[in-house]
Structures are given as structure tokens and as C-alpha cells.
């Protein structure tokens, strides 16, 4: 069972993501769970542990669009459509970023990359399916820790645009 806690201030020991949320005064809830290193999918593991639909939990992926690192935030129930991502940012070609480059740029480890509080602010696209939801869950910056917040707040804090970038 996931441990739920509301963190709105006093982020001692918080992650860069939760610190960024607190400093911005954005309402959010953290959800922690025991991460299983053998889990096949970090996102599906989070959805199951939190007892929520995989359509509500979003994974943070990094891609290179015409050589520029770009953040894509899509539901764990689907996959990233690289052509749609490239089109969403006015690019021609997108490929998945190297894991080392993603970790170095964001300051997070793969499986715990949050769209919030990244070391370097990158161009970000949030799948359009998030717009109709009251809240979404994204990584809070480490495996086994999710943050739940409104898609509008997520977009505002990351400078994200909404676009249909997920498949199935």
C-alpha cells in the first residue's frame, strides 16, 4: 500500500521536484511506495502501488529533437510517438535520448526523472490526455516517490505545451 502524505511546505529532505513545487506555492501530494528493482516498468509499478489508473500516472521521457534535448510527459499506459513529439516542437526528427545524457541534464536517475526541478530547464511537452484530468501523478525525483498535482500547474511550472504525443 502506498504511503500518502501532503507536502506543501517545510521540504527538509525533499527532492528538487518537491522543493520547486513548495517554492512555487503549488498544491501537491506526495505518494511513496516500496520500489521493486525487478519491476519491468517503473510507471506501471507506480500506478499499481498507488491504486490508480495507468492513464493518471505519467512517465517523463527525454528525446532529442533535431539534436536538442526535449522532455516528453506521457501516460504510462501508452508510449511516446516520436514523430508527434517532433511535430509538437516544430522539429523534423526525434530519437530517444541516451540515458546518461538524460541523467546528466536533469540531475535525476532513469526511473526517477521528474519533469519538475530539473538541473537545466528543457523544452517540455505534456500529452494532451492530461488536460481533461483533475490531477496527474509524475515522478517526484526518485524511484518509489510520485507527486500528484493538477496538469495546469505541471504545465505552468515546466513551461510545457500540451500536444497529442502518446500512442495507445
CATH number at residue 49: 3.90.960.10
Of 32-36, 50-54, 81-85, 108-112, where does the model show the most confidence?
A: 81-85
Residue 61: left if φ>0, alpha if ψ -120 to 50, beta else—which one?
Answer: beta
> Starting from the edge strand earliest in sequence, which strands make up the sheet with 136-142, in order?
3-6, 29-32, 145-149, 136-142
Tell whether the model's pLDDT for residue 5 goes beyond 50.
no
Neighbours of 26 (CB within 10 A): 18
Q: In 11-106, which ranges are E strands? A: 29-32, 58-65, 68-75, 79-80, 94-96
Q: Is 107 exposed, middle or buried (0-12, 13-18, 19+ CB in 10 A)?
A: middle
For 125, the grid coordinates are 511537452
DSSP for residue 57: B
Residue with more model confidence, 58 or 12: 58
Q: In 28-159, which ranges are E strands? A: 29-32, 58-65, 68-75, 79-80, 94-96, 123-127, 136-142, 145-149
The range of the structural domain enclosing residue 112 comes to 3-167
What is the count of structural domains for the chain? 1
Neighbours of 6 (CB within 10 A): 10
The whole-model pTM stands at 0.90
Chain position carrying cell 500500500: 1
Distance, in Å, from the CA atom of 128 to the CA atom of 155, rounded to the nearest integer, reads 11
What is the pLDDT at residue 7? 40
Predicted confidence band at 166 (pLDDT cuts at 50, 70, 90)?
Answer: very high
Amino acid at each position: 500500500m502506498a504511503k500518502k502524505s501532503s507536502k506543501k511546505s517545510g521540504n527538509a529532505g525533499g527532492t528538487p521536484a518537491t522543493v520547486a513545487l513548495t517554492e512555487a506555492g503549488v498544491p501537491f501530494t506526495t505518494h511513496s511506495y516500496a520500489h521493486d528493482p525487478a519491476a519491468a516498468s517503473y510507471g506501471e509499478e507506480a500506478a499499481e502501488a498507488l491504486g490508480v489508473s495507468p492513464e493518471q500516472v505519467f512517465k517523463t521521457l527525454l528525446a532529442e529533437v533535431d539534436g536538442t534535448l526535449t522532455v516528453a510527459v506521457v501516460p504510462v499506459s501508452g508510449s511516446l510517438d516520436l514523430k508527434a513529439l517532433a511535430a509538437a516542437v516544430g522539429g523534423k526528427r526525434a530519437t530517444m535520448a541516451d540515458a546518461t545524457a538524460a541523467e546528466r541534464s536533469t540531475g535525476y536517475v532513469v526511473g526517477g526523472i521528474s519533469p519538475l526541478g530539473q538541473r537545466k530547464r528543457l523544452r517540455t511537452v505534456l500529452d494532451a490526455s492530461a488536460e481533461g484530468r483533475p490531477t496527474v501523478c509524475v515522478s517526484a525525483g526518485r524511484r518509489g516517490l510520485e507527486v500528484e498535482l493538477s496538469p495546469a500547474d505541471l504545465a505552468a511550472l515546466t513551461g510545457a505545451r500540451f500536444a497529442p504525443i502518446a500512442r495507445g
